[in-house]
A = this chain, B = another copy of it.
Amino acid sequence: MEHLTRVLFDIFLIFASAKLLGELFERFRQPAVVGEVLAGLLLGPYLLGIVPHSPVYEGIAEIGVIFLLFTVGLETKPSDILKVGVVASKVGLLGILLPFVLGFGLIAYLGHPTLEALFIGTALVATSVGITARVLGDMGLIQEIESRIILGAAVIDDIIGMILLAVVSSLGEGALSWVRITLVAVEAIAFTLFLGLVGSRVINRYGRWIERIKTPQAPLVFSILICLGLSALSSAIGMAAIIGAFMAGMVLAEFSEGYHLVEKAEAIYAFLVPFFFFVMGSHINLAVMASGEIIWLALVITVLAVVGKLVGCGIGALSLGRSGALIVGVGMVPRGEVGIIVAMLGLRLHAIPESMYALVIFMSVVTTLAVPPVLRVLFRERLQTREQATIWTAREKAG
């Protein structure tokens, strides 16, 4: 029982510290996710050593990240991607190309292995839809034209980012060859397209039979089954498990609306996801960052990550005018959890060393922390107009 008590206390400590630091960051108008990673860094084995590494917490964290991507997927309807149109596609594609080329180029130029350079390039690619959406939502700006383009582009960017991740992570398991890259890319694109086009149609058409199931919470149980099944499947065919989880969510996005699935998934999310970020933080070994070279490299990579998105996405959105393009560029900068997930995968596959992992975390945290205040300034005028409009509407109603 000694052991069980220890595990229970650890679980309590992980959840409590992640939520406490998350709340602290929210109070300072910063993303909670940074606080959760920090909790793991502080309490984990490399700093205070209060919570050890354990397969139990890694397992819970893995289920947590699966639910994170599943929930993001649930809010991403395939039809939404089609609606946002040409601008979002341009923003998404250019915003992927530039950071990838810059990151890959720098690391390859410095003489690191090709696989390592590919992982760093991929880690620079994916904008964190969750963080971007949360910032825009908190500011009440989801309906702005720039916001809709950011969200649409982030979805495209997420999908391509995941295909890239699929390619890179399966490369991590075998020898590098262009035939293999092409094969894996085709496999990943086929898997994604098949689920996106056929999967959601099948679910939307035949999903109603779920009402004949007697199990309580049948729609939720059915969705979790699809999520776990596709996660295991995509892991088995050499892609990351989270890609399956995201696709499961997207396939279920329209079906879920009739059954309040998002609310239910969010309850599970609220419980399990902090374990993921805590465990991520607990793997940051600051000692490997101690060398001057790595610190410089981290700063350079972070600058490239910011410039890559700002310029790439900005060019893609030039049709909105300079101010609109700037907002879109800034909104696409945060990397958040997706960069961390890529780095974690690279670390597990021994494709990148601990120092590169710490570097990606640094880049993710800085880009995520920097964006909310800048976005606030850029949107300030719009917010003031909005407030004025609200006051007028209220006056009209009162009069």
Decide: B4 and A62 in contact? CB cutoff 8 A: yes
1/0 per residue A119-130: CB within 8 Å of B? Answer: 000000000000
What is the minimal beta-carbon distance from A330 to any residue of chain B, in angstroms?
23
Decide: A348 and B1 in contact? CB cutoff 8 A: yes
Q: Once the chains are docked, how many angstroms separate the CA of A263 from the CA of B231?
A: 26
Question: Which stretch in A18-26, A194-202, A360-368 binds the other chain?
Answer: A18-26
Question: Which stretch in A217-225, A279-287, A317-325, A382-390 binds the other chain?
Answer: A217-225
Decide: A59 and B62 in contact? CB cutoff 8 A: no
Q: Is the interface of A mostly helix, strand, loop or mixed?
A: helix
Q: Across the interface, which residues of B come within 8 angstroms of A263, CB to CB?
A: 263-264, 267
Contact flag A216-B62 (CB < 8 Å), given A11-B228, A228-B11, A232-B5: no
Decide: B217 and A267 in contact? CB cutoff 8 A: yes
Q: Across the interface, which residues of B come within 8 angstroms of A349, CB to CB?
A: 1
Query: CB < 8 Å: which of B60, B215, B264, B268 contacts A60?
Result: B60
Q: Give me 18 other A-B pairs in contact (C-beta within 8 A), A8-B228, A23-B213 excluded.
A: A4-B235, A5-B232, A7-B59, A8-B62, A8-B231, A9-B232, A9-B236, A11-B63, A12-B228, A16-B229, A26-B214, A55-B55, A216-B266, A217-B267, A220-B267, A224-B270, A264-B267, A268-B271
Residue in chain B with minimal CB distance to A227: B12
1/0 per residue A48-88: CB within 8 Å of B? Answer: 00000011101110110000000000000000000000000
**A257 contacts chain B at the CB level, 8 A cutoff:** no
Q: Once the chains are docked, how many angstroms separate the CA of A175 from the CA of B62?
A: 41
Q: Across the interface, which residues of B come within 8 angstroms of A8, CB to CB?
A: 62, 228, 231-232, 235, 241
Decide: B11 and A215 in contact? CB cutoff 8 A: no
**A27 contacts chain B at the CB level, 8 A cutoff:** yes
**A164 contacts chain B at the CB level, 8 A cutoff:** no
Q: Once the chains are docked, how many angstroms separate the CA of A350 from the CA of B270?
A: 36
Copies in the complex: 2
What is the minimal beta-carbon distance from A282 to any residue of chain B, in angstroms?
16
Decide: B270 and A217 in contact? CB cutoff 8 A: yes
Decide: B225 and A16 in contact? CB cutoff 8 A: yes
Decide: B15 and A241 in contact? CB cutoff 8 A: no
Query: CB < 8 Å: which of B1, B59, B265 contacts A235?
Result: B1
Query: CB < 8 Å: which of B15, B56, B215 contacts A224?
Result: B15
**A43 contacts chain B at the CB level, 8 A cutoff:** no
Residue in chain B with minimal CB distance to A274: B221
Decide: B27 and A214 in contact? CB cutoff 8 A: yes
Q: Once the chains are docked, how many angstroms separate the CA of A349 from the CA of B4?
A: 11
* A:203-262 near B, CB below 8 Å: 213-217, 220-221, 224-225, 228-229, 231-232, 235-236, 241
Contact flag A62-B235 (CB < 8 Å), given A228-B15, A229-B12: no
Decide: A220 and B270 in contact? CB cutoff 8 A: yes
Q: Across the interface, which residues of B come within 8 angstroms of A343, CB to CB?
A: none
Q: Across the interface, which residues of B come within 8 angstroms of A1, CB to CB?
A: 169, 173, 235, 348-349
What is the minimal beta-carbon distance from A180 to any residue of chain B, in angstroms?
16
Q: Once the chains are docked, how many angstroms separate the CA of A221 from the CA of B22?
A: 12
Q: Once the chains are docked, how many angstroms separate the CA of A370 from the CA of B238?
A: 48
Decide: B217 and A266 in contact? CB cutoff 8 A: yes
Q: Once the chains are docked, how many angstroms separate the CA of A255 from the CA of B187?
A: 51
